[in-house]
Amino acid sequence: MSKRFYGTIKEGKINFQSQTRGMLDEYTSTKFKDGDIVVLNVGKSEEDITHEQYKYLYACVYKPLAEHLGYTIDELDEILKYKFLAKFKGTKHEFIQGKSELNREEMAKYIDSCIQFAAKVGVICQSCPI
């Protein structure tokens, strides 16, 4: 599981607000033990997934597809994440990447994959009021 912390760049260095820095320290001290290896991903915040992408995915793609297939939205979410976001399938290193780890472009590709899957099973995902 990963968590996002936001800062700004000042003179080439990451600058966290003191509150954010405290939350980062608290998070790492409760989630990791000494010697754990962690990964820090750095990117521009405008690359984050938008709220509109989530709203569209759940209201216009997941909802009609789940109803058509007889799953709950949560069950469908797990199925489609495994289908499209699983990494190293069939190996001992297999894992499912979380949607929150995707950037805006990757989320758009995930949504497109879900729409194409829906079309294959007879569900047309049209625009809907969100």
Residue positions counted in the chain: 130
The strand ranges marked E within 1-130 are: 8-10, 13-15, 86-87, 95-96
**Would you say residue 2 lies in a domain?**
no
Q: What is the pLDDT of residues 14-73, one digit of tens each?
A: 887 777 778 888 888 888 899 998 887 777 766 777 888 999 999 999 999 999 999 999
Q: Which residues of 56-90 are buried (b: 16+ CB within 10 A; e: fewer)?
A: bbeebbbebbbeeeebeeeebbeebbeebbeeeee
Same domain, 27 and 87: no
Q: What is residue 2's predicted lDDT score, i.e. its pLDDT?
A: 65
Same domain, 87 and 60: yes
**Would you say residue 116 lies in a domain?**
yes
**Would you say residue 1 lies in a domain?**
no
Same domain, 73 and 36: no
Same domain, 38 and 66: no
70: left (phi over 0), alpha (psi -120 to 50) or beta: left
Same domain, 23 and 71: no
Same domain, 60 and 93: yes
Same domain, 52 and 116: yes
**C-beta separation of 125 from 67 below 8 A:** no
Q: What is residue 106's predicted lDDT score, i.e. its pLDDT?
A: 92
Q: What is the pLDDT of residues 61-112, one digit of tens each?
A: 999 999 999 999 999 999 999 999 999 988 988 899 889 888 889 999 999 9
Residue 109 token pair? 């590709």
